[in-house]
Structure 1
Amino acid sequence: MAGKQVRLFLVDGTPGGLMTAEIMNWTGHVLKGKREKLGEIRTRPEARRTGVYILLGDDLKSVGDRIAYIGQSDDVANRLIQHDARKDFWSEVVVITSKDTNLTSAHVRYLEARLIRLAKSIGRIPLENGNEPTGGADLPEADASDMEYFIEQLRVLLPVLGIDMFRGRETRIAPAGSGPASAPAPVTAAQATTSPVFRFKRPKIGVDAQAQLIDGEFTVLAGSVVCAAMPDRDGFSESTARQYKVRQEQHHKLLEDGSIVIGANGVARLTRDVVFSSSSAAGAIVQGSASINGREAWGTEDGTRFGEWESRDVQ
């Protein structure tokens, strides 16, 4: 993939203040700021345009997790003022507009609908949105193509700003009790990786998972068969017990949010791609253990260990 030049501007010279972001030769424009800066945001010309916005905040139902709301408006600043009065959860906002002011109401309805579907499919941050919008159905084919390119660039830019909710592959969610999830969308140019698919198979405990390094993140793929439960266990040392508790909570969360579904035959599968902090963290969840050496546990069909592949260019 060719490199991209990202331009960041700290409006008031501090990392915690308003920030704008652009990609060279892309018409999109992103403004990011804290809710406390709403008075300043509403006076900026880009916030008065037609655009899409993302509200971000802490999920009060799950400590340490984030939640988001995606919307659109012909006057984003005015809509944000309404949300300031009616929505309590958000502490940060991202305003997405166009530098050439060519985004129309139809364009942003299309973008809103696509971004909501994308966020739900990837599943990294739950949404406060209720019904999924159906906007964009009547957008001309050429305009729809332009908006898909707009989204592709946005998916490159937002992670630079620390917003990963659109990072990953789209996955069709498999209904509970069904077979593997439908094949995820192919990796886009923005996510291109030379990583092969790595496999973690333990026939004795009935797990068979596949993973790939996607956009620099160790990702266990949708359809992988993982352990169905991580029950309480005794006999661990104090440090291992703490580590097992962390993995147990992670596994429970994946069950709770539907990322793991257990079929009628008792087989547990991932309904979507799931990103882990490391190959070892992924292996521990797949196997249902406190820890594991992921660099050795994951391997390709030709027998290459993940650790060997990861160090392939190290002299």
Structure 2
Amino acid sequence: MSHGRGIRLFLVDGTPNGLLTAEIMNWTGHALTGPRTKLTELVQRPECGRTGVYFLVGPDPDNAMRPLVYIGESDDVAKRLKQHNRPEPQGGKDFWERVCLITSKDQNLTKAHVKYLESQLIAIAKQSGRCGLVNGTAHDYTVLPESDQADMAFFIEQVRIILPVLGFDFLRDRQKIAAQIQGEPGSEGAAPNFYMELPKYGIRATAREVDGEFVVLEGSQTRDKWVSGSSYTSYRPLYDQLTADGVLVPDASGAVRFTQDQSFSSPSAAAAVVSGRSANGRIVWIEESSRKSYGDWQSSLVEAQSANEELKD
């Protein structure tokens, strides 16, 4: 059973789109984030004079469905950010729109620590597949005592907790999703199965809802193309991108299948990709054991919880 966490957020300039700091209770780490437009104010913050790791985040021009990310480290982050702010011909980076800096409140992070953190975070970002990485070949930096590596493993766990709260999802844990997918539907810790069928085309897809995401399982089938003449939706670029990325691939039977488990932001996004057109995921996805639509299944859970609370009263 997972436990709750307390995260303290502070709006530095009192606005939601300005500088923001974040801390987790009993964690020595400290996060500072803000838009590039606030870089002048950000580099004057005391955190930027510390040793730390940082993330530069912006849109990926080749993939509208994920961000482009650069992961770096420095013992003078302000200096590095000023360098990254230069035009590309002068050694800077043009793509980024937001920055997030992770330092330590007790200032015990050393250069060796942040080089190790950078190496590990780059590897995690690559494994997650949730972003494009601007970094070149990352060095596998492991020159740390065993005890320090254990400390940094805990530090990274906290970073992966705090970043999604700040709007950065590219380090989210795929292993947790995979574990819940591999469990038997309905077993402890495992999500129930949903299915969607298009009988006219012999198509069937299976999915599970895991950690706030709707995951279509490997081997599920889809239409072989986006339906011509159907209304344009934001999901058509997603269908095209998954095809370009090799997630949707024709098989020997002529059908198109998912080559891996694929996370979606909602049941409707998943349903649109499977059907090749706009679709209401709350209606077309069916919970396997109850045969209820996703919407009815979700409503029944809420009603059951309310009934239990009434009995307790």
Q: What is the correspondence of 1:91-130 to structure 2 with a 5 Å cutoff? A: 91-130=97-136
Q: Counterpart in 2 of 1:215? A: 211
The answer as to whether partners of 1:208 and 1:224 remain within 8 angstroms in 2 is no
Q: Counterpart in 2 of 1:176? A: none
Shift of 1:134: 1.7
Q: Counterpart in 1 of 2:69? A: 68
Number of aligned residue pairs: 291
1:90 is paired with a residue whose SS is: coil
Decide whether aligned partners of structure 1 residues 269 and 296 sit closer, same or farther in structure 2, where only a CA change above 3 A counts: closer
The answer as to whether partners of 2:272 and 2:278 remain within 8 angstroms in 1 is yes
Q: What is the correspondence of 1:157-196 to structure 2 with a 5 Å cutoff? A: 157-170=162-175, 184=178, 195-196=191-192
Decide whether aligned partners of structure 1 residues 70 and 264 sit closer, same or farther in structure 2, where only a CA change above 3 A counts: farther
1:313 is paired with a residue whose SS is: helix
> Which amino acid in 2 is paired with 1:110?
Y
Q: Counterpart in 1 of 2:45? A: 44
Q: Which runs of 5+ in 2 are unaligned?
A: 87-91, 182-187, 307-313
Structure with the larger helix share = 2
The answer as to whether partners of 1:226 and 1:287 remain within 8 angstroms in 2 is no
Instruction: Indicate whether 1:13 and 2:37 are aligned.
Output: no
Bigger Rg, structure 1 or 2: 2
The Cα offsets for residues 120-141 of structure 1, whole Å up to 9 and x where unpaired, read as 2222222222223322x34333
Q: Counterpart in 1 of 2:228? A: 233
| Deviation beyond 6 Å, 4+ runs, structure 1 | none
CA RMSD of aligned residues (A): 3.1
User: With structure 2 as the length reference, what TM-score do the two structures score?
Assistant: 0.79
Cα distance in 1 between the residues matched to 2:173 and 2:286: 20
Cα distance in 1 between the residues matched to 2:6 and 2:68: 29
Cα distance in 1 between the residues matched to 2:223 and 2:284: 23
> Which amino acid in 1 is paired with 2:30?
H
Shift of 1:209: 3.7
Q: Which runs of 5+ in 1 are unaligned?
A: 172-182, 235-240
User: With structure 1 as the length reference, what TM-score do the two structures score?
Assistant: 0.79
1:116 is paired with a residue whose SS is: helix
Q: What is the correspondence of 1:135-150 to structure 2 with a 5 Å cutoff? A: 135=141, 137-150=142-155
Decide whether aligned partners of structure 1 residues 186 and 281 sit closer, same or farther in structure 2, where only a CA change above 3 A counts: closer
Moved more, 208-217 or 264-273: 264-273
Decide whether aligned partners of structure 1 residues 138 and 279 sit closer, same or farther in structure 2, where only a CA change above 3 A counts: same
> Which amino acid in 2 is paired with 1:253?
Q
